[in-house]
Amino acid sequence: MENQTLPVSRIPFKWIIFLTLLACVAAWAIRGVLVRDQQMSTANTSASTFASLPPGSSAKAVVRLESVNGADLKGILLEKQSDPVYLLPSDRMPVVAASLTPDTSVVMGKPDEIVVGAVVQLAGTIDGNHVLQTDQLVVLTGYVRVSEKAR
């Protein structure tokens, strides 16, 4: 008798390769979602911390815009109370000045939503004049609620 070997079916092998590739793609997609979620987590920077940041420091702040003049933004720093609720400071805090750069990316929202009264999160680097050179902007209007602090 001849020594016969069973032919290995190609169908299960193809399924194993397909399922392995599918698992890799799913893992890559989940990782991308988690990274974007982490990037879009809202800031919790206090006014005293923001004011004391030295030039060259990275900063992230949630502000309500008081002035929009082209690429120059000014707003009031909001204090995080809970995830969807931010408090407007009871006393007049120093205005946060920011400048949109050519590299600024609008991660959530649209550029035409950057208007007076909008709530935005700004991330970037503090320059020598204590202006936040923004490289990332997230429009939070409609996602967070601003309430006044009890006096």
Q: What's the average model confidence in pLDDT over 66-74?
A: 88
As a whole number of angstroms, the distance between CA 78 and CA 66 comes to: 12
β-bridge pairing 95-108 and 132-139: parallel
Fold classification of 47-148 is: OB fold (Dihydrolipoamide Acetyltransferase, E2P) (2.40.50)
Does the pLDDT of residue 87 top 80, yes or no?
no
In tens, the pLDDT along 98-129 reads 888 888 888 888 888 888 888 988 888 888 88
DSSP string, 82-112: SSSEEEEPSS-PPEEEEEEEEEEEEEES-GG
> Which pair of tokens denotes residue 67?
């002035």
As a whole number of angstroms, the distance between CA 77 and CA 14 comes to: 57
Task: Check: pTM over 0.85? Answer yes or no.
Answer: no
In tens, the pLDDT along 41-60 reads 556 566 667 777 788 888 88
Q: Sketch the domain layout of the chain as residue ranges.
A: 47-148
As a whole number of angstroms, the distance between CA 4 and CA 122 comes to: 71
Nearest to 124 by CA among 44, 54, 60: 60
